[in-house]
Amino acid sequence: MIFGGELVKYDVVIIGGVAAGTSAGASAKRVDSSLGILLIQKEKFISYGGCGLPYYVQGIVKDIDDLIEFTPQEFREKKGVEVLPEHEVFEVDFERKIVKARSVKDGDVKEFEYEKLVVTTGASPIVLNLEGIEDERIFTIRTPEDAMRIRGFIEGKRPESVAIVGGGYIGVEMSEAFRTHGLKVFLIEMMDHLLGNAEPEINEVVVNTLERNGVKVLLKTQVRKFVPDEKIKVVTNSGDMEVDMVLISVGVKPNTEIFDNVKKGVKGAIEVDETGKTSIEDVFSAGDCATVDHFITKEKAYIPMGTTANKQGRIVGRNVAGRKERFIGVLGSSITKIFDVEFGRTGLMEEEAKRFGYNSGSVYIKSLSKAKYYPGSGPIHIKLSFDKKTGKILGAQMVGSDVHKRIDVVTSAIYGGLTVEELGYMDLAYAPPFSPVWDPVLISGNVARRYLKLDNR
């Protein structure tokens, strides 16, 4: 580090922590321990398990500290990275290589010079521009502070009902969290399906599971305004409801507003190549503020996920330290728990693949997760998509029991370029407590074989 008056120079300055930023800092330091690295974070929490926030609200995670991976002091001591928490970067001079940050506590401004800059500012919840949205009983959830406010409200005010606006992963996971506390839950989604793009057969199971567990699912329903009073009236195109609290979970937007000179791509995310480089020399980006390459389409995509942020951050960290590593791209693989079932997806489904020029098809199967005589065996539904010309697997969606193992099998098959024929005869491990002798994944591959008439060769 070089000191010159009030200006401090670092080899690497990282704007933003949590997943990508802390991964970048730690991996850069592992490659070159001599680097002077500074991580600037707007919040006081610099590294935490964001995907665990619904489970903290639910009460499965008892203490918010259980979600904290590193405190600023721990990260500094264990990883050798300097940390400046509770400071917001408000300006970057890319020509002079200077970052300006303001304390969120007292407004004090600090300036830092960098050799290389890593932008990992993440994303923020989309806030609907609706009348009544400012009411203090209307929440979003993205940070530990958000989760603590929600749980504090539940424990302190004892609400009896909640409207969740948005039926994606957070909306569905928070439905279970609220039901655990005994709240009446209305899950409002403007599309005709949940979880982003759940296939019809899969979506039906998801909706039935939610409603069987006391969640009122309202599809094709758009919120028009909120009318706060003793309760909050939620006005929609299909009727009104009065609730004690509201959660907005309609997606996120990348935090890229101050980076005007950097090339941006899908949904305003900073466009990066497979090494994490941006359009500006010596500036890298990763995580929920950046694009990512899709493994199948080879096009830029915006798929904000904690898993991707960690991987991108690691590669960027190694590259700012002198390596030349490339990220292979993502499939959008994801999974969640919905009461007593699991939902998972990976790759492209049939209609989505067609939009990218594929002659795609798909098959749907229903099977059992274990041998039918083994206790705990339950239904599992699989929708498998593939290229009808080559037979290569393009994607899958699953819902039911023991999805977590099987969605990763299909993910691996896609990365390996396998066909449905090869999938149908993969040598998967078998024992009655874990699967039928013909695993559901194998069945889906063989049903696809028949669809493509490969049995008639």
Q: How many CB atoms lie within 10 A of CB 11?
A: 18
Pure H helices in 356-457:
403-415, 420-424, 440-451
Strand partners, 366: 381
List 31, 49, 51, 274, catalytic entry = 51
Question: Phi/psi at 363 (nearest 5 deg)?
Answer: -135, 155
**What separation in angstroms does the CA of 121 have from each of 41, 256, 286?**
8, 7, 9
Return the amino acid letter for 222. Q
Contact status, residue 144 vs residue 67, Cβ threshold 8 Å: yes
- Which runs of E-coded beta strand occur in 65-192? 68-70, 82-84, 87-93, 98-103, 109-119, 123-125, 138-139, 161-165, 184-188
Structure tokens at 202: 């899969």
51 annotated active-site: yes
- Contact (CB, 8 A) for 124 and 108: no
Residue 31 token pair: 């490659």
DSSP tag of 288: G
Q: Which burial class, exposed, middle or buried, applies to 429 when counting CB atoms under 10 A from its CB (0-12, 13-18, 19+)?
A: exposed
Gyration radius of the chain's alpha carbons = 24
SS3 259: coil
| DSSP secondary structure code for residue 390 in this structure | T
Structure tokens at 307: 């898993």
Separation between Cα atoms, residue 64 and residue 46, nearest integer Å: 13
Structure tokens at 143: 């940070």
**Active-site positions?**
51
